[in-house]
Chains A and B, each alone.
Chain A
Amino acid sequence: MSQSPATTPPSPADAPAYNPRNYLNAEAGIRSWLLTRDHKRIGIMFLALTTLFFFVGGLFALLVRIELLTPGPTIMSAMTYNRMFTLHGVVMIFLFMIPAIPGIFGNFFLPIMLGARDVAFPRLNLLSLYLYVIGAGIALYGMIHGGTDTGWTFYAPYSTTTITKVVPVLLGAFVLGFSSIVTGLNFIVTAHTLRAPGITWMRMPLFVWSIYATSIIQILATPVLGITLLMVAVEHAFGFGIFDPARGGDPILFQHMFWFYSHPAVYIMVLPAMAVISEVICAAAHKNIFGYKAVAFSSLGIAFVGFFTWGHHLFTSGQSTLDAGIFGVLSMFVGIFTAIKVFNWTATLYKGSVAFTAWFAYFCGFLFFLVFGGMTGIALATVSLDVHWQDTYFVVAHFHFIMVGATIMAWLAALHYWWPKMFGRMYPERWGLVGAVTIVFGFNATFIPQFLLGNYGMPRRYYSYPERFWPLNVASTLGATLLGFGFLLILIYFLWSLKYGRVASANPWGSRGYEWGTLSPPPPENFIGQPVYPSPPHDYTEGSVQSGDPHAAEVTHAA
Chain B
Amino acid sequence: MQPEAYVAHHFPNLRQQEHAARIGMWLFLATELLLFGGLFTAYSVYRFLYPAGFAASSEHLSVAAGTINTVVLITSSLTVALAHHFARHGKGRTAALCLAITLAFAAVFLVIKGWEWTHDFEEGLLPGRYFHSSELTATGAPMFFTLYFILTGLHGIHVLIGMTVLAILMVLCWRGAYDHGYSTPVELGGMYWHLVDLIWIFLYPLLYLI
Interface residues of A (CB under 8 A from B): 1-3, 111, 116-122, 124, 181, 185-186, 188-189, 192-194, 219-224, 226-228, 231, 234-235, 238-242, 247-250, 253, 256-257
Q: B70 an interface residue at 8 Å Cβ cutoff?
A: no
Taken together as a complex, chains A and B put the C-alpha atoms of A234 and B154 apart, in Å, by: 12
Q: How far is the CB of B54 from chain A (nearest CB, A)?
A: 12
From B20, B27, B37, B142, give the contact of A248 (CB < 8 A): B142
Do B128 and A220 touch (CB < 8 A)? no
Contacts of B39 in A (CB 8 A): 227, 231
Total count of chain B residues near the partner, CB < 8 A = 39
Contact partner of A247 (CB less than 8 A), chosen from B13, B128, B147, is B128
Which residue from chain B places its CB closest to the CB of A215 in the assembled complex? B27
Q: How far is the CA of A189 from the CA of B127 in the complex (A)?
A: 40
Q: Is the CB of B45 within 8 A of A253?
A: yes
What are the residues of chain B within 8 A of A228 when measuring CB–CB?
38
B10 and A122 within 8 A (CB):
yes
Residue of A nearest to B20 (CB): A193
Q: How far is the CA of A520 from the CA of B4 in the complex (A)?
A: 33
Give the chain A neighbours of B45 by CB distance below 8 A.
250, 253
Let me know if B35 and A248 touch, CB within 8 A.
no
The 0/1 profile, CB within 8 Å of A marked 1, for residues 70-93 of chain B is 000000000000000000000000
Q: Given known contacts A117-B9, A241-B142, A248-B143, is B31 in contact with A181 (CB within 8 Å)? A: yes
- What are the 5 tightest A-B residue pairs by CB atom distance, in nearest-first order? A2-B12, A227-B38, A240-B128, A223-B35, A241-B128
Contact B41 A257 (CB under 8 A): yes
Total number of A-B contacts with CB less than 8 angstroms? 120
Contact of B49 among A117, A227, A239, A250 (CB under 8 A): A250
Further 11 A-B residue pairs, CB within 8 A, beyond A119-B10, A192-B23: A121-B20, A185-B27, A188-B27, A194-B16, A221-B34, A224-B37, A231-B38, A235-B128, A242-B128, A253-B45, A256-B41
Q: How far is the CA of A247 from the CA of B49 in the complex (A)?
A: 13
Digit string of B142-156 for contact with A (CB within 8 Å is 1, else 0)? 110011001000000
* Residues on the B chain within 8 Å of A249, using CB: 143
Known contacts A192-B20, A231-B42, A248-B140; A185/B28 CB under 8 A: yes
User: What residue in chain A is nearest B129 (Cβ atoms)?
Assistant: A239
Smallest beta-carbon distance B167→chain A, Å: 20
Asked if residues B27 and A219 are in contact (CB atoms below 8 Å), the reply is yes
Q: Determine the distance from Cα of A317 to Cα of B158 in the docked complex, in whole angstroms.
A: 35
Chain A's nearest CB lies how many Å from the CB of B72?
26
Binding site for A on B (CB under 8 A): 8-13, 16, 19-20, 23-24, 27-28, 30-32, 34-39, 41-42, 45-46, 49-50, 127-130, 139-140, 142-143, 146-147, 150
CB distance from A142 to the nearest CB of B (A): 22
Q: Report the bound CA distance from A487 to B56 in whole Å.
A: 61
Contacts of B140 in A (CB 8 A): 248
Q: Is there an interface contact between A234 and B150, defined as CB atoms closer than 8 Å?
A: yes
B30 touches A241 (CB 8 A): no
Q: Indicate whether A240 sits within 8 Å of B146 (C-beta atoms), given known contacts A2-B13, A121-B24, A250-B49.
A: yes
Q: How far is the CA of A116 from the CA of B12 in the complex (A)?
A: 10
User: Which B residues are CB-close (under 8 A) to A242?
Assistant: 42, 128, 143, 146-147, 150
The interface residues of chain B lying within 8 Å CB-to-CB of A235 are: 128
Q: What B residues does A234 contact at CB under 8 A?
A: 150
Of the candidates B34, B36, B150, the one whose C-beta lies within 8 Å of that of A220 is B34
7 A/B residue pairs, CB under 8 Å, sorted by A: A122-B10, A185-B24, A193-B11, A194-B10, A240-B127, A242-B143, A257-B42
Q: How far is the CA of A445 from the CA of B147 in the complex (A)?
A: 49
Inter-chain contact B127/A238, CB cutoff 8 Å = yes
The CA-CA distance from A111 to B10 in the complex, in Å, is: 10
B24: which A residues are within 8 A, CB to CB?
Answer: 120-121, 124, 185-186, 189
User: What is the chain B residue whose CB lies nearest that of A185?
Assistant: B27
Report the separation of the CA atoms of residues A7 and B121 in the bound assembly, to the nearest whole angstrom: 69
User: Which chain A residues border B46 with CB–CB below 8 Å?
Assistant: 250
In whole Å, how far is B27's beta carbon from the nearest beta carbon of chain A? 5
Knowing A117-B10, A188-B27, say if A193 contacts B19 (CB, 8 Å).
Answer: yes
Docked-complex contact B9 and A1, CB < 8 angstroms? yes
Q: In the complex, which residues of chain B have a beta carbon less than 8 angstroms from the beta carbon of A193?
A: 11, 16, 19-20, 23
CB contact between A239 and one of B30, B38, B128 (< 8 Å): that residue = B128
Instruction: Output the nearest chain A residue to B34 by Cβ-Cβ distance.
Output: A223
Nearest B residue to A226 by beta-carbon distance? B35
A241 to B127, CA, bound (A): 8
Q: Given A185-B24, A189-B20, is A241 in contact with B146 using a C-beta cutoff of 8 Å?
A: yes
- Distance in Å from the Cβ of B203 to the closest Cβ of chain A? 15
With A and B bound together, what is the CA distance between A250 and B143 in angstroms? Answer: 11
B37 to chain A: which residues have CB within 8 Å?
223-224
Shortest CB–CB separation between residue B41 and chain A, in angstroms? 7
Q: How far is the CB of B9 from chain A (nearest CB, A)?
A: 7
User: With the chains together, A185 CA to B139 CA distance in Å?
Assistant: 42
A226 and B49 CA atoms in complex are apart in Å by 24
